[in-house]
Amino acid sequence: MQISVKDTVSTPSSDTIQKDTIVREYYLGKIIPVDSTGKSFPDTITSSDGSMAKAYTAYSRATGDLKNEASLNTDFAFGLLSFSLFMFALLSLTGRKHVVNIISSLSIKRPFVLRPQVGIGVFSWIPLFVNLSSILNASLFVVAAAVKMDLFGPLPGFESVKIVSFVIAGLAVAIMLRHLACLTIGTVSGHKAAFREYVTVITATWFISGFLFFCATFLILFTQIGNPEIPVLAALSVFALLYFYRIIRLLIIFIRQSVTILYFILYLCALEVLPVLILLKIAGVF
pLDDT tens digits, 125-173: 787 888 899 999 999 999 999 888 877 777 777 888 899 999 999 899 8
The pair phi, psi for residue 46, each rounded to 5°, is -120, -10
Q: Is the pLDDT reported for residue 89 higher than 80?
A: yes
Please give the pLDDT value at position 19: 54
Higher pLDDT, 189 or 173: 173
Query: Considering only CA atoms, which of 278, 142, 153, 279 is closest in space to residue 217?
Result: 142
pLDDT tens digits, 251-281: 888 888 887 888 778 777 777 777 777 776 7
DSSP structure string for the chain:
-----PPP-PPP-PPP-PPPPPP---EE-SSSEE-TTSSS--S-SS-TT-TTTHHHHS--PPPPPP-PPPSB-HHHHHHHHHHHHHHHHHHHHHSHHHHHHHHGGG-SSSPP---TTT--SSSSHHHHHHHHHHHHHHHHHHHHHHHHTTSS--B-THHHHHHHHHHHHHHHHHHHHHHHHHHHHHHHHT-HHHHHHHHHHHHHHHHHHHHHHHHHHHHHHHS--S-THHHHHHHHHHHHHHHHHHHHHHHHHHHHTT--HHHHHHHIIIIIIHHHHHHHHHTT--
Q: What is the mean pLDDT of the chain?
A: 75
Higher pLDDT, 207 or 53: 207
Query: If you average pLDDT over residues 29-36, what whole number do you get?
Result: 48
Predicted confidence band of residue 27 (pLDDT cuts 50, 70, 90): very low
Q: Is the pLDDT reported for residue 57 higher than 60?
A: no
Query: If you average pLDDT over residues 209-225, what whole number do you get?
Result: 91
Please give the pLDDT value at position 175: 87
Percent of the chain with pLDDT over 90: 22
Q: In the chain, where are the structural domains located?
A: 74-282
Q: Is 26 exposed, middle or buried (0-12, 13-18, 19+ CB in 10 A)?
A: middle
Residues pairing with 171 in the sheet: none
| pTM value > 0.85 | no
Higher pLDDT, 110 or 231: 231
End-to-end CA distance of the chain: 119
Q: Is the pLDDT reported for residue 26 higher than 50?
A: no
Q: Is the pLDDT reported for residue 191 higher than 90?
A: no
Higher pLDDT, 198 or 150: 198
Q: Is 278 exposed, middle or buried (0-12, 13-18, 19+ CB in 10 A)?
A: exposed
Q: Is the pLDDT reported for residue 77 higher than 60?
A: yes
